[in-house]
Amino acid sequence: MKGLTRAIGLAAVALWCATAAAQDKSFPPEQIAKGADIFARNCSPCHGPRMQDPESAFDLRKFPPDEHDRFVRSVTNGKNQMPPWGDLLKRDDIEALWAYVTMGEKK
């Protein structure tokens, strides 16, 4: 029982550290700027210019910063009424969008 309690405690600490590291991540300004350009061209018609006043889409300023994989899946494969962008955007384009959504605009 003591070993199980210790294992659970260590797992909790590891999860907390991973979440804290994900939230503290910074991006190069060039990557954020690239993401802003991609966003302006492809995403702003639905998510609003500079993520302000989204017409009918999710307010990306509220996207959880610890859900990178969810963001990548949604952009790549589409979600609900959002079309898939995986055939049009390269992986580094999607990462630039992530940098912009995470760091580019004040929430």
Task: Write the pLDDT tens digit of every residue in 54-94.
Answer: 777 888 988 999 999 999 999 999 999 899 999 999 999 99
The verdict on residue 22 lying in a domain is: no
- Total domains present in the chain: 1
Dihedral sign for Cα 84, 47, 36, 62, please. negative
Please give the pLDDT value at position 44: 92
pTM of the model: 0.72
* Residue 60, domain extent: 27-104
Residue 13 covered by a domain:
no
Alpha carbons 66 and 85: distance in angstroms, whole number: 21
- From residue 54, give the alpha-carbon distance in Å to each of 27, 43, 45: 24, 10, 8
CA distance 60 to 51: 6
Whether pLDDT at 9 is above 50:
no
pLDDT surpassing 80 at residue 103: yes
Tokens, residue 79? 């979600």
Nearest to 35 by CA among 72, 62, 81: 72
**The predicted structure's pLDDT at residue 52:** 82
